[in-house]
Protein backbone atom coordinates (compact mmCIF):
# COMPACT_ATOMS: atom_id res chain seq x y z
CA UNK A 1 0.00 0.00 0.00
CA UNK A 2 1.50 3.33 -0.96
CA UNK A 3 2.55 5.39 1.98
CA UNK A 4 0.51 8.41 1.14
CA UNK A 5 -2.65 6.32 1.13
CA UNK A 6 -1.79 4.55 4.39
CA UNK A 7 -1.19 7.84 6.13
CA UNK A 8 -4.33 9.35 4.77
CA UNK A 9 -6.85 10.02 7.49
CA UNK A 10 -9.37 7.26 7.77
CA UNK A 11 -12.06 9.46 9.21
CA UNK A 12 -13.94 11.83 7.02
CA UNK A 13 -12.78 15.40 7.24
CA UNK A 14 -14.55 16.99 10.19
CA UNK A 15 -16.71 19.18 8.11
CA UNK A 16 -19.77 20.59 9.83
CA UNK A 17 -21.60 18.19 7.64
CA UNK A 18 -25.05 19.73 7.27
CA UNK A 19 -25.35 23.39 8.04
CA UNK A 20 -28.86 24.37 7.26
CA UNK A 21 -29.56 27.95 6.37
CA UNK A 22 -31.05 29.90 9.26
CA UNK A 23 -34.57 30.04 7.88
CA UNK A 24 -34.66 26.24 7.49
CA UNK A 25 -33.31 25.67 11.00
CA UNK A 26 -36.02 27.87 12.41
CA UNK A 27 -38.70 26.31 10.23
CA UNK A 28 -39.89 23.58 12.64
CA UNK A 29 -40.43 26.00 15.50
CA UNK A 30 -42.01 28.56 13.16
CA UNK A 31 -44.44 25.89 11.97
CA UNK A 32 -45.33 25.01 15.56
CA UNK A 33 -45.98 28.69 16.34
CA UNK A 34 -48.23 29.02 13.30
CA UNK A 35 -50.04 25.81 14.29
CA UNK A 36 -50.52 27.13 17.84
CA UNK A 37 -52.13 30.35 16.62
CA UNK A 38 -54.26 28.44 14.11
CA UNK A 39 -55.58 26.11 16.81
CA UNK A 40 -56.34 29.03 19.11
CA UNK A 41 -57.92 31.36 16.57
CA UNK A 42 -59.51 29.12 13.91
CA UNK A 43 -62.60 28.22 15.96
CA UNK A 44 -63.13 31.83 17.01
CA UNK A 45 -62.85 33.15 13.45
CA UNK A 46 -65.15 30.39 12.15
CA UNK A 47 -67.82 31.22 14.71
CA UNK A 48 -67.76 34.87 13.72
CA UNK A 49 -67.99 33.97 10.04
CA UNK A 50 -70.92 31.60 10.39
CA UNK A 51 -72.98 34.16 12.31
CA UNK A 52 -74.05 35.78 9.02
CA UNK A 53 -74.78 32.53 7.14
CA UNK A 54 -78.40 32.27 6.00
CA UNK A 55 -78.84 28.49 6.27
CA UNK A 56 -80.11 27.04 9.50
CA UNK A 57 -77.76 24.09 9.20
CA UNK A 58 -74.28 25.57 9.08
CA UNK A 59 -72.60 24.53 5.83
CA UNK A 60 -69.97 25.95 3.55
CA UNK A 61 -70.42 27.76 1.25
CA UNK A 62 -73.60 29.47 2.54
CA UNK A 63 -76.53 29.97 0.20
CA UNK A 64 -76.63 33.60 1.26
CA UNK A 65 -75.90 36.06 4.03
CA UNK A 66 -78.22 37.51 6.63
CA UNK A 67 -78.27 39.36 9.95
CA UNK A 68 -81.46 37.56 11.09
CA UNK A 69 -79.58 35.43 13.60
CA UNK A 70 -78.59 38.56 15.51
CA UNK A 71 -82.27 39.48 15.74
CA UNK A 72 -83.09 35.95 16.87
CA UNK A 73 -80.31 36.06 19.47
CA UNK A 74 -81.68 39.32 20.83
CA UNK A 75 -85.23 37.97 20.92
CA UNK A 76 -84.22 34.86 22.84
CA UNK A 77 -83.91 36.58 26.19
CA UNK A 78 -81.85 33.78 27.78
CA UNK A 79 -78.70 35.04 26.05
CA UNK A 80 -79.08 38.70 27.00
CA UNK A 81 -80.00 37.67 30.53
CA UNK A 82 -77.12 35.21 30.66
CA UNK A 83 -74.73 37.90 29.52
CA UNK A 84 -75.91 40.27 32.26
CA UNK A 85 -75.73 37.53 34.89
CA UNK A 86 -72.21 36.56 33.80
CA UNK A 87 -71.09 40.20 33.91
CA UNK A 88 -72.62 40.66 37.36
CA UNK A 89 -71.11 37.49 38.78
CA UNK A 90 -67.68 38.13 37.26
CA UNK A 91 -67.58 41.75 38.47
CA UNK A 92 -68.70 40.85 42.00
CA UNK A 93 -66.38 37.85 42.27
CA UNK A 94 -63.46 40.00 41.09
CA UNK A 95 -64.29 42.84 43.52
CA UNK A 96 -64.43 40.39 46.44
CA UNK A 97 -61.68 37.95 45.49
CA UNK A 98 -58.94 40.33 44.37
CA UNK A 99 -58.75 42.40 47.62
CA UNK A 100 -58.90 39.25 49.76
CA UNK A 101 -56.29 37.50 47.65
CA UNK A 102 -54.03 40.55 47.50
CA UNK A 103 -54.11 41.00 51.28
CA UNK A 104 -53.35 37.32 51.76
CA UNK A 105 -50.50 37.35 49.24
CA UNK A 106 -48.95 40.39 50.95
CA UNK A 107 -49.15 38.75 54.36
CA UNK A 108 -47.72 35.49 53.04
CA UNK A 109 -44.72 37.10 51.34
CA UNK A 110 -43.97 39.90 53.84
CA UNK A 111 -45.60 38.79 57.09
CA UNK A 112 -43.11 36.16 58.23
CA UNK A 113 -46.06 34.16 59.55
CA UNK A 114 -45.60 30.61 60.76
CA UNK A 115 -47.24 28.22 58.30
CA UNK A 116 -47.12 30.74 55.46
CA UNK A 117 -46.35 28.06 52.92
CA UNK A 118 -49.21 25.87 54.13
CA UNK A 119 -51.50 28.89 53.83
CA UNK A 120 -50.30 29.54 50.32
CA UNK A 121 -50.97 25.90 49.41
CA UNK A 122 -54.50 26.20 50.76
CA UNK A 123 -55.17 29.42 48.82
CA UNK A 124 -53.83 27.93 45.59
CA UNK A 125 -55.71 24.66 46.10
CA UNK A 126 -58.77 25.66 44.02
CA UNK A 127 -56.46 25.62 40.97
CA UNK A 128 -55.53 22.00 41.62
CA UNK A 129 -59.10 20.75 42.03
CA UNK A 130 -61.01 20.04 38.81
CA UNK A 131 -63.82 22.58 38.72
CA UNK A 132 -66.46 19.92 38.10
CA UNK A 133 -65.49 18.26 41.40
CA UNK A 134 -65.53 21.57 43.27
CA UNK A 135 -68.89 22.38 41.65
CA UNK A 136 -70.57 19.12 42.69
CA UNK A 137 -69.14 19.41 46.20
CA UNK A 138 -70.45 22.97 46.51
CA UNK A 139 -73.85 21.92 45.18
CA UNK A 140 -74.15 19.23 47.88
CA UNK A 141 -72.84 21.70 50.46
CA UNK A 142 -75.38 24.36 49.51
CA UNK A 143 -78.25 21.84 49.67
CA UNK A 144 -77.11 20.73 53.12
CA UNK A 145 -76.73 24.33 54.30
CA UNK A 146 -80.23 25.11 53.02
CA UNK A 147 -81.56 22.28 55.14
CA UNK A 148 -79.74 23.47 58.28
CA UNK A 149 -80.32 27.17 57.93
CA UNK A 150 -83.79 26.83 56.44
CA UNK A 151 -83.33 29.44 53.70
CA UNK A 152 -82.68 29.52 49.95
CA UNK A 153 -79.01 29.14 49.15
CA UNK A 154 -78.57 26.96 46.08
CA UNK A 155 -79.24 28.72 42.77
CA UNK A 156 -79.10 32.22 44.31
CA UNK A 157 -76.87 34.93 42.91
CA UNK A 158 -74.99 35.16 46.22
CA UNK A 159 -74.06 31.48 46.25
CA UNK A 160 -72.96 31.61 42.62
CA UNK A 161 -70.76 34.64 43.36
CA UNK A 162 -69.33 32.88 46.41
CA UNK A 163 -68.40 29.90 44.22
CA UNK A 164 -66.75 32.18 41.69
CA UNK A 165 -64.73 33.93 44.41
CA UNK A 166 -63.13 30.51 44.77
CA UNK A 167 -61.85 30.94 41.20
CA UNK A 168 -60.53 34.46 41.72
CA UNK A 169 -58.57 33.94 44.97
CA UNK A 170 -55.93 31.47 43.69
CA UNK A 171 -55.24 33.51 40.55
CA UNK A 172 -54.86 36.67 42.61
CA UNK A 173 -52.56 35.01 45.16
CA UNK A 174 -50.47 33.55 42.35
CA UNK A 175 -50.07 36.76 40.35
CA UNK A 176 -49.65 39.18 43.27
CA UNK A 177 -47.16 36.87 45.00
CA UNK A 178 -45.09 36.82 41.81
CA UNK A 179 -45.07 40.62 41.60
CA UNK A 180 -44.11 40.94 45.29
CA UNK A 181 -41.27 38.47 44.98
CA UNK A 182 -39.86 40.66 42.24
CA UNK A 183 -39.69 43.64 44.64
CA UNK A 184 -36.41 44.05 46.44
CA UNK A 185 -36.97 44.43 50.17
CA UNK A 186 -34.13 46.95 50.29
CA UNK A 187 -36.38 49.56 48.66
CA UNK A 188 -38.89 49.25 51.50
CA UNK A 189 -36.14 49.31 54.12
CA UNK A 190 -34.58 52.39 52.55
CA UNK A 191 -37.90 54.22 52.71
CA UNK A 192 -38.33 53.22 56.35
CA UNK A 193 -34.81 54.33 57.20
CA UNK A 194 -35.49 57.70 55.62
CA UNK A 195 -38.30 58.14 58.11
CA UNK A 196 -41.37 56.95 56.26
CA UNK A 197 -44.04 55.45 58.46
CA UNK A 198 -44.99 51.81 57.75
CA UNK A 199 -48.24 52.86 56.10
CA UNK A 200 -46.41 55.37 53.90
CA UNK A 201 -43.87 52.72 52.93
CA UNK A 202 -46.72 50.44 51.93
CA UNK A 203 -48.61 53.14 50.05
CA UNK A 204 -45.64 54.70 48.25
CA UNK A 205 -43.29 51.76 47.70
CA UNK A 206 -44.97 48.36 48.10
CA UNK A 207 -48.33 49.09 46.54
CA UNK A 208 -46.93 50.60 43.31
CA UNK A 209 -44.72 47.52 42.96
CA UNK A 210 -47.80 45.30 43.34
CA UNK A 211 -49.79 47.34 40.85
CA UNK A 212 -49.08 45.25 37.76
CA UNK A 213 -49.77 42.06 39.69
CA UNK A 214 -53.08 43.41 40.94
CA UNK A 215 -54.16 44.52 37.46
CA UNK A 216 -53.26 41.11 36.04
CA UNK A 217 -55.18 39.53 38.92
CA UNK A 218 -58.29 41.60 38.12
CA UNK A 219 -58.08 40.68 34.45
CA UNK A 220 -57.57 36.96 35.05
CA UNK A 221 -60.15 36.78 37.82
CA UNK A 222 -62.71 38.39 35.57
CA UNK A 223 -61.85 36.03 32.70
CA UNK A 224 -61.96 32.96 34.93
CA UNK A 225 -65.35 33.84 36.28
CA UNK A 226 -66.86 35.13 33.05
CA UNK A 227 -66.05 32.09 30.94
CA UNK A 228 -66.50 29.46 33.62
CA UNK A 229 -68.73 26.57 32.68
CA UNK A 230 -67.81 23.53 34.74
CA UNK A 231 -68.04 25.04 38.22
CA UNK A 232 -71.32 26.79 37.43
CA UNK A 233 -73.10 23.85 35.76
CA UNK A 234 -74.83 22.63 38.91
CA UNK A 235 -74.97 25.99 40.68
CA UNK A 236 -77.11 27.99 38.27
CA UNK A 237 -80.85 28.09 38.75
CA UNK A 238 -83.80 28.65 36.46
CA UNK A 239 -83.81 32.26 35.29
CA UNK A 240 -80.31 32.75 36.67
CA UNK A 241 -78.11 31.11 34.09
CA UNK A 242 -74.67 32.35 33.14
CA UNK A 243 -73.89 32.89 29.48
CA UNK A 244 -71.65 29.81 29.01
CA UNK A 245 -74.30 27.54 30.54
CA UNK A 246 -77.04 29.15 28.41
CA UNK A 247 -74.94 28.57 25.32
CA UNK A 248 -74.27 24.94 26.20
CA UNK A 249 -77.95 24.29 26.84
CA UNK A 250 -78.83 25.82 23.49
CA UNK A 251 -76.11 23.95 21.62
CA UNK A 252 -77.13 20.61 23.08
CA UNK A 253 -80.38 20.58 21.20
CA UNK A 254 -79.72 22.68 18.12
CA UNK A 255 -76.79 24.04 16.18
CA UNK A 256 -77.80 27.10 14.20
CA UNK A 257 -76.03 30.42 13.70
CA UNK A 258 -77.90 32.05 16.63
CA UNK A 259 -75.17 30.91 18.96
CA UNK A 260 -72.55 32.24 16.56
CA UNK A 261 -74.31 35.62 16.61
CA UNK A 262 -74.31 35.69 20.42
CA UNK A 263 -70.67 34.69 20.44
CA UNK A 264 -69.73 37.37 17.91
CA UNK A 265 -71.36 40.12 19.97
CA UNK A 266 -69.55 38.80 23.03
CA UNK A 267 -66.24 38.60 21.17
CA UNK A 268 -66.52 42.19 19.92
CA UNK A 269 -67.40 43.51 23.37
CA UNK A 270 -64.50 41.62 24.90
CA UNK A 271 -62.10 42.85 22.23
CA UNK A 272 -63.10 46.46 22.89
CA UNK A 273 -62.74 45.90 26.63
CA UNK A 274 -59.23 44.47 26.23
CA UNK A 275 -58.07 47.19 23.85
CA UNK A 276 -59.37 49.88 26.19
CA UNK A 277 -57.64 48.19 29.15
CA UNK A 278 -54.46 48.03 27.11
CA UNK A 279 -54.53 51.77 26.55
CA UNK A 280 -54.33 52.36 30.28
CA UNK A 281 -52.05 49.52 31.31
CA UNK A 282 -49.92 47.53 28.94
CA UNK A 283 -51.36 44.03 29.12
CA UNK A 284 -48.14 42.56 27.79
CA UNK A 285 -46.26 43.91 30.80
CA UNK A 286 -48.76 42.85 33.44
CA UNK A 287 -49.06 39.18 32.63
CA UNK B 1 -50.57 40.18 59.38
CA UNK B 2 -52.59 37.09 60.25
CA UNK B 3 -55.71 39.21 59.91
CA UNK B 4 -54.84 39.75 56.25
CA UNK B 5 -54.63 36.04 55.42
CA UNK B 6 -57.57 34.88 57.49
CA UNK B 7 -60.51 36.12 55.37
CA UNK B 8 -59.22 34.46 52.21
CA UNK B 9 -58.13 31.36 54.12
CA UNK B 10 -61.47 30.97 55.87
CA UNK B 11 -63.35 31.48 52.62
CA UNK B 12 -61.38 28.75 50.86
CA UNK B 13 -61.76 26.47 53.88
CA UNK B 14 -65.52 27.06 53.95
CA UNK B 15 -66.16 26.85 50.21
CA UNK B 16 -63.63 24.24 49.15
CA UNK B 17 -62.43 22.13 52.08
CA UNK B 18 -65.77 21.75 53.90
CA UNK B 19 -67.69 20.81 50.72
CA UNK B 20 -64.96 18.27 49.87
CA UNK B 21 -65.32 16.65 53.29
CA UNK B 22 -69.08 16.51 52.78
CA UNK B 23 -68.64 15.07 49.29
CA UNK B 24 -66.40 12.36 50.69
CA UNK B 25 -68.97 11.55 53.36
CA UNK B 26 -71.69 11.31 50.72
CA UNK B 27 -69.54 9.00 48.61
CA UNK B 28 -69.70 6.46 51.45
CA UNK B 29 -73.49 6.48 51.52
CA UNK B 30 -75.85 4.06 49.82
CA UNK B 31 -78.06 4.85 46.88
CA UNK B 32 -81.72 4.09 47.31
CA UNK B 33 -84.19 4.49 44.44
CA UNK B 34 -86.98 5.54 46.83
CA UNK B 35 -85.30 7.94 49.25
CA UNK B 36 -82.32 8.78 46.98
CA UNK B 37 -79.67 8.38 49.64
CA UNK B 38 -79.28 6.28 52.77
CA UNK B 39 -76.69 6.94 55.48
CA UNK B 40 -74.05 4.23 55.44
CA UNK B 41 -70.33 3.66 55.54
CA UNK B 42 -69.56 1.55 52.55
CA UNK B 43 -66.87 1.41 49.91
CA UNK B 44 -69.38 -0.07 47.44
CA UNK B 45 -69.51 3.05 45.25
CA UNK B 46 -65.75 3.07 44.87
CA UNK B 47 -65.65 -0.65 44.16
CA UNK B 48 -68.34 -0.23 41.51
CA UNK B 49 -66.49 2.68 39.85
CA UNK B 50 -63.27 0.68 39.70
CA UNK B 51 -64.86 -2.68 38.93
CA UNK B 52 -67.34 -1.70 36.23
CA UNK B 53 -65.56 -1.87 32.82
CA UNK B 54 -67.73 1.00 31.56
CA UNK B 55 -66.45 3.45 34.18
CA UNK B 56 -62.96 2.04 33.99
CA UNK B 57 -62.87 2.84 30.30
CA UNK B 58 -64.19 6.37 30.95
CA UNK B 59 -61.40 6.90 33.45
CA UNK B 60 -58.83 5.52 31.04
CA UNK B 61 -60.09 7.75 28.21
CA UNK B 62 -59.97 10.78 30.50
CA UNK B 63 -56.41 9.98 31.53
CA UNK B 64 -55.04 9.30 28.04
CA UNK B 65 -56.83 12.27 26.47
CA UNK B 66 -55.60 14.57 29.28
CA UNK B 67 -52.01 13.40 29.10
CA UNK B 68 -51.93 13.53 25.31
CA UNK B 69 -53.49 16.99 25.26
CA UNK B 70 -51.04 18.25 27.89
CA UNK B 71 -48.04 17.01 25.91
CA UNK B 72 -49.38 18.42 22.65
CA UNK B 73 -50.05 21.75 24.37
CA UNK B 74 -46.52 21.80 25.71
CA UNK B 75 -45.11 21.06 22.24
CA UNK B 76 -47.11 23.85 20.61
CA UNK B 77 -46.88 26.20 23.56
CA UNK B 78 -43.14 26.21 24.19
CA UNK B 79 -41.98 27.65 20.83
CA UNK B 80 -44.82 30.16 20.89
CA UNK B 81 -44.05 31.23 24.46
CA UNK B 82 -40.35 31.59 23.61
CA UNK B 83 -41.16 33.67 20.55
CA UNK B 84 -43.50 35.85 22.60
CA UNK B 85 -41.06 36.25 25.48
CA UNK B 86 -38.18 37.29 23.22
CA UNK B 87 -40.27 39.64 21.09
CA UNK B 88 -39.19 43.27 21.32
CA UNK B 89 -41.26 45.15 18.80
CA UNK B 90 -44.36 47.13 19.59
CA UNK B 91 -46.37 44.15 18.34
CA UNK B 92 -45.60 42.27 21.54
CA UNK B 93 -48.55 43.81 23.33
CA UNK B 94 -50.79 42.93 20.42
CA UNK B 95 -49.50 39.34 20.26
CA UNK B 96 -50.12 38.92 24.00
CA UNK B 97 -53.67 40.15 23.61
CA UNK B 98 -54.20 37.74 20.71
CA UNK B 99 -53.07 34.87 22.97
CA UNK B 100 -55.26 35.98 25.87
CA UNK B 101 -58.26 36.79 23.76
CA UNK B 102 -59.52 33.20 23.18
CA UNK B 103 -59.65 32.80 26.97
CA UNK B 104 -62.52 35.23 27.11
CA UNK B 105 -64.47 33.55 24.36
CA UNK B 106 -65.33 30.53 26.46
CA UNK B 107 -64.96 26.88 25.58
CA UNK B 108 -68.57 26.38 24.46
CA UNK B 109 -68.15 28.95 21.69
CA UNK B 110 -64.86 27.44 20.60
CA UNK B 111 -66.44 23.98 20.49
CA UNK B 112 -69.16 25.47 18.26
CA UNK B 113 -66.41 26.84 16.04
CA UNK B 114 -64.83 23.41 15.72
CA UNK B 115 -68.23 21.94 14.83
CA UNK B 116 -68.55 24.44 11.97
CA UNK B 117 -64.99 23.72 10.83
CA UNK B 118 -64.84 19.93 11.11
CA UNK B 119 -68.46 18.84 10.62
CA UNK B 120 -69.71 17.04 7.53
CA UNK B 121 -70.90 20.29 5.95
CA UNK B 122 -68.11 22.19 7.67
CA UNK B 123 -65.51 24.44 6.12
CA UNK B 124 -62.81 21.78 5.70
CA UNK B 125 -64.97 19.02 4.22
CA UNK B 126 -66.82 21.45 1.93
CA UNK B 127 -63.59 22.92 0.59
CA UNK B 128 -62.05 19.51 -0.04
CA UNK B 129 -65.21 18.29 -1.76
CA UNK B 130 -65.50 21.51 -3.73
CA UNK B 131 -61.96 21.01 -4.97
CA UNK B 132 -62.87 17.47 -5.94
CA UNK B 133 -60.23 15.96 -3.67
CA UNK B 134 -62.67 13.76 -1.78
CA UNK B 135 -66.04 12.30 -2.77
CA UNK B 136 -67.67 12.05 0.66
CA UNK B 137 -67.00 14.00 3.88
CA UNK B 138 -64.10 12.84 6.03
CA UNK B 139 -65.03 11.78 9.57
CA UNK B 140 -63.28 14.71 11.23
CA UNK B 141 -65.73 15.18 14.07
CA UNK B 142 -67.12 12.98 16.86
CA UNK B 143 -63.87 11.21 17.59
CA UNK B 144 -61.03 11.41 20.09
CA UNK B 145 -58.90 13.56 17.79
CA UNK B 146 -61.57 16.26 17.59
CA UNK B 147 -61.87 16.28 21.40
CA UNK B 148 -58.10 16.62 21.81
CA UNK B 149 -58.05 19.48 19.30
CA UNK B 150 -60.90 21.18 21.16
CA UNK B 151 -59.10 20.79 24.50
CA UNK B 152 -55.75 22.02 23.17
CA UNK B 153 -57.42 25.14 21.77
CA UNK B 154 -58.90 25.84 25.21
CA UNK B 155 -55.79 25.28 27.33
CA UNK B 156 -53.04 26.55 25.01
CA UNK B 157 -53.27 30.22 26.11
CA UNK B 158 -52.68 29.22 29.76
CA UNK B 159 -49.57 27.26 28.79
CA UNK B 160 -48.19 30.06 26.61
CA UNK B 161 -48.74 32.79 29.21
CA UNK B 162 -47.27 30.72 32.07
CA UNK B 163 -44.21 29.69 30.04
CA UNK B 164 -43.50 33.09 28.52
CA UNK B 165 -43.47 34.72 31.97
CA UNK B 166 -40.75 32.27 33.05
CA UNK B 167 -38.78 32.47 29.79
CA UNK B 168 -38.79 36.26 30.00
CA UNK B 169 -36.99 36.02 33.34
CA UNK B 170 -34.12 34.02 31.76
CA UNK B 171 -31.40 36.55 30.90
CA UNK B 172 -30.72 36.64 27.19
CA UNK B 173 -26.97 36.83 27.92
CA UNK B 174 -26.99 33.24 29.18
CA UNK B 175 -28.15 32.04 25.77
CA UNK B 176 -25.73 34.33 23.98
CA UNK B 177 -22.85 33.05 26.09
CA UNK B 178 -23.69 29.46 25.21
CA UNK B 179 -23.93 30.11 21.50
CA UNK B 180 -20.74 32.25 21.51
CA UNK B 181 -18.98 29.29 23.04
CA UNK B 182 -20.04 27.30 20.01
CA UNK B 183 -23.21 25.51 21.06
CA UNK B 184 -25.62 24.94 18.16
CA UNK B 185 -29.08 26.38 18.70
CA UNK B 186 -30.57 22.97 19.52
CA UNK B 187 -27.94 22.47 22.27
CA UNK B 188 -28.58 25.96 23.62
CA UNK B 189 -32.25 25.06 23.87
CA UNK B 190 -31.67 21.64 25.45
CA UNK B 191 -28.89 22.56 27.88
CA UNK B 192 -29.66 26.18 28.74
CA UNK B 193 -33.19 27.36 27.96
CA UNK B 194 -35.10 24.20 28.81
CA UNK B 195 -33.48 23.57 32.23
CA UNK B 196 -34.01 27.19 33.24
CA UNK B 197 -37.59 27.12 31.98
CA UNK B 198 -38.47 23.87 33.79
CA UNK B 199 -40.30 25.60 36.67
CA UNK B 200 -42.55 27.15 34.05
CA UNK B 201 -42.96 23.84 32.24
CA UNK B 202 -44.00 22.25 35.54
CA UNK B 203 -46.41 25.04 36.49
CA UNK B 204 -47.95 25.23 33.02
CA UNK B 205 -48.32 21.47 32.62
CA UNK B 206 -49.93 21.03 36.03
CA UNK B 207 -52.39 23.85 35.37
CA UNK B 208 -53.22 22.51 31.92
CA UNK B 209 -53.50 18.89 33.07
CA UNK B 210 -56.04 19.83 35.74
CA UNK B 211 -58.06 21.73 33.13
CA UNK B 212 -57.90 18.70 30.79
CA UNK B 213 -59.12 16.29 33.47
CA UNK B 214 -62.01 18.71 33.92
CA UNK B 215 -63.04 18.77 30.24
CA UNK B 216 -66.77 19.09 29.81
CA UNK B 217 -67.89 21.09 26.78
CA UNK B 218 -65.30 19.71 24.33
CA UNK B 219 -66.13 16.13 25.31
CA UNK B 220 -69.90 16.57 25.10
CA UNK B 221 -69.99 18.61 21.89
CA UNK B 222 -67.04 17.24 19.88
CA UNK B 223 -66.83 13.65 21.10
CA UNK B 224 -70.25 12.54 19.98
CA UNK B 225 -72.73 10.36 21.87
CA UNK B 226 -70.42 7.39 22.44
CA UNK B 227 -67.42 9.34 23.68
CA UNK B 228 -67.35 9.68 27.46
CA UNK B 229 -65.10 11.51 29.89
CA UNK B 230 -65.24 11.84 33.67
CA UNK B 231 -66.68 15.35 34.02
CA UNK B 232 -69.85 14.64 31.99
CA UNK B 233 -70.17 11.24 33.69
CA UNK B 234 -70.11 12.90 37.14
CA UNK B 235 -72.58 15.56 36.06
CA UNK B 236 -74.92 12.87 34.69
CA UNK B 237 -74.98 11.08 38.03
CA UNK B 238 -76.15 14.23 39.79
CA UNK B 239 -78.59 15.52 37.20
CA UNK B 240 -79.95 12.54 35.28
CA UNK B 241 -79.21 9.49 37.44
CA UNK B 242 -79.75 11.17 40.81
CA UNK B 243 -77.28 8.69 42.25
CA UNK B 244 -75.44 11.16 44.45
CA UNK B 245 -73.25 8.70 46.37
CA UNK B 246 -71.94 7.15 43.17
CA UNK B 247 -71.44 10.57 41.56
CA UNK B 248 -69.55 11.69 44.66
CA UNK B 249 -67.34 8.60 44.48
CA UNK B 250 -66.56 9.31 40.80
CA UNK B 251 -65.74 12.92 41.65
CA UNK B 252 -63.42 11.79 44.43
CA UNK B 253 -61.65 9.33 42.18
CA UNK B 254 -61.12 12.08 39.59
CA UNK B 255 -59.81 14.43 42.29
CA UNK B 256 -57.45 11.86 43.80
CA UNK B 257 -55.96 10.81 40.47
CA UNK B 258 -55.52 14.43 39.39
CA UNK B 259 -53.82 15.37 42.67
CA UNK B 260 -51.53 12.33 42.75
CA UNK B 261 -50.43 12.78 39.14
CA UNK B 262 -49.81 16.53 39.45
CA UNK B 263 -47.83 16.06 42.67
CA UNK B 264 -45.75 13.23 41.16
CA UNK B 265 -45.22 15.22 37.97
CA UNK B 266 -44.06 18.39 39.66
CA UNK B 267 -41.85 16.40 42.05
CA UNK B 268 -40.16 14.65 39.11
CA UNK B 269 -39.60 17.95 37.29
CA UNK B 270 -38.57 19.63 40.55
CA UNK B 271 -35.75 17.16 41.09
CA UNK B 272 -34.46 17.87 37.62
CA UNK B 273 -34.36 21.61 37.88
CA UNK B 274 -32.83 21.78 41.30
CA UNK B 275 -29.66 20.02 40.17
CA UNK B 276 -28.21 22.65 37.81
CA UNK B 277 -28.77 25.34 40.44
CA UNK B 278 -26.53 23.55 42.94
CA UNK B 279 -23.84 23.20 40.32
CA UNK B 280 -23.94 26.91 39.69
CA UNK B 281 -23.54 27.95 43.31
A278 interaction partners in chain B (CB closer than 8 Å): 93, 97
DSSP secondary structure code for residue A237 in this structure: B
E strand or H helix that includes residue A267: helix A257-280
Give domain status of residue B232, yes or no: yes
- Domain with A168, as residue range(s), is 87-239
**Residue A150's pLDDT is what?**
86
Residues 198-217 of B with CB under 8 A from A: 206-207, 210, 213-214, 216-217
Name the residue facing B12 among A122, A141, A178 (closest C-beta): A122
Q: Under an 8 A CB cutoff, do B122 and A60 touch?
A: yes
Give domain status of residue B212, yes or no: yes
Name the residue facing A229 among B98, B108, B122 (closest C-beta): B108
Burial of B77 (0-12, 13-18, 19+ CB in 10 A): buried
**Residue B157's pLDDT is what?**
94
**CATH number of residue B146's parent domain:** 1.10.3720.10
Give domain status of residue A99, yes or no: yes
Q: Read off the pLDDT of residues A74-95 as tens digits, 9 standing for 90 and up.
A: 888 888 899 899 999 999 999 9
Q: Under an 8 A CB cutoff, do A132 and B258 touch?
A: no
- Cα(B71)–Cα(B60) distance, rounded to whole angstroms? 17
> How many independent structural domains does chain B possess?
1
Of B91, B57, B152, nearest in space to A40 by CA:
B152
The per-residue b/e assignment along B174-206, b for 16 or more CB within 10 angstroms, e otherwise, is: ebeebeeeebeeeebbeebbebbbbbbbbbbbb
Give domain status of residue A61, yes or no: no
Name the residue facing A60 among B113, B121, B216 (closest C-beta): B121
- How far is residue A103 from each of residues A109, A202, B2, measured CA to CA in Å? 10, 12, 10
Q: Under an 8 A CB cutoff, do B93 and A144 touch?
A: no
Find the residue in B nearest to A58 (Cα).
B116
Name the residue facing A43 among B97, B117, B157 (closest C-beta): B117
User: Torsion-angle region of residue A183: left (phi > 0), alpha (psi -120 to 50) or beta?
Assistant: beta
Q: Under an 8 A CB cutoff, do A284 and B214 touch?
A: no
**Residue A165's pLDDT is what?**
96
Contact by Cβ (8 Å): A124, B210: no
Give domain status of residue B4, yes or no: no
Give domain status of residue B152, yes or no: yes
Q: Does the CB of A92 have a partner CB in chain B at under 8 Å?
A: no
Q: Read off the pLDDT of residues A138-154 as tens digits, 9 standing for 90 and up.
A: 999 999 999 899 888 88
Q: Does the CB of B66 have a partner CB in chain A at under 8 Å?
A: no
**CATH number of residue A171's parent domain:** 1.10.3720.10
> How many independent structural domains does chain A possess?
1
- Domain with B184, as residue range(s), is 49-280
**Residue A74's pLDDT is what?**
85
Q: What is the pLDDT along chain A (287 residues), one digit of tens a residue?
A: 555 555 554 444 444 545 667 677 778 889 999 999 999 999 999 988 888 888 877 777 788 888 888 888 888 888 889 989 999 999 999 999 999 999 999 999 888 788 888 999 999 999 989 999 999 999 999 999 998 998 888 888 899 999 999 999 999 999 899 888 877 788 888 888 898 888 888 888 888 888 888 888 988 899 889 989 999 998 987 778 999 999 998 887 777 788 889 989 888 887 787 777 777 666 655 55
Give domain status of residue A244, yes or no: no
Strand partners, B31: B37
Give domain status of residue B255, yes or no: yes
Give domain status of residue B12, yes or no: no
Q: Which residues of chain B, if any, have pLDDT below 50?
A: 276-281
Q: How far is B126 from chain A (nearest CA, A)?
A: 6
Name the residue facing A125 among B16, B83, B113 (closest C-beta): B16
Q: Under an 8 A CB cutoff, do B160 and A44 touch?
A: no
**Residue A15's pLDDT is what?**
44
Q: Does the CB of A131 have a partner CB in chain B at under 8 Å?
A: yes
Degrees (nearest 5) of the Cα angle B114, B117, B122?
130
Contact by Cβ (8 Å): A123, A173: yes
Strands B30-32 and B36-38: antiparallel
Q: Does the CB of A194 have a partner CB in chain B at under 8 Å?
A: no
B7 interaction partners in chain A (CB closer than 8 Å): 100, 103-104
- Cα(A202)–Cα(B1) distance, rounded to whole angstroms? 13
Give domain status of residue B221, yes or no: yes
Q: How far is B139 from chain A (nearest CA, A)?
A: 15
Give domain status of residue A28, yes or no: no
Give domain status of residue B29, yes or no: no
**Residue B104's pLDDT is what?**
79
CA B234 to chain centre: 17
Amino acid sequence: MPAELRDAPLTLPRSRAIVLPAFLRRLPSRLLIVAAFLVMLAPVVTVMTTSVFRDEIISFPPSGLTLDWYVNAWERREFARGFVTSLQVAALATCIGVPLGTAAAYAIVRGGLPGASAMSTLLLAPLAVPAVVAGTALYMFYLRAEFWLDRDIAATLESLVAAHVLLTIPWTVRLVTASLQGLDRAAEEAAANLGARPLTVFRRVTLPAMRSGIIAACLFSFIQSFENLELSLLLVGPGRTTLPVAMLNYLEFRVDPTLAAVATVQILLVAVLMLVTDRFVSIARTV
Amino acid sequence: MAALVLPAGLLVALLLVAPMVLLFRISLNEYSPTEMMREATTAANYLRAVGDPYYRSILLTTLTVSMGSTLLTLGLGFPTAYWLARMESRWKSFATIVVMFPLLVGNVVRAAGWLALLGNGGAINSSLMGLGLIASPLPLIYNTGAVVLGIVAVVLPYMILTLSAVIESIPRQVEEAASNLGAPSWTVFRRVVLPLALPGVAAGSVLVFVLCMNTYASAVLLGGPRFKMMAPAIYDQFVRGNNWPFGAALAFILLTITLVLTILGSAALGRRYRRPKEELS
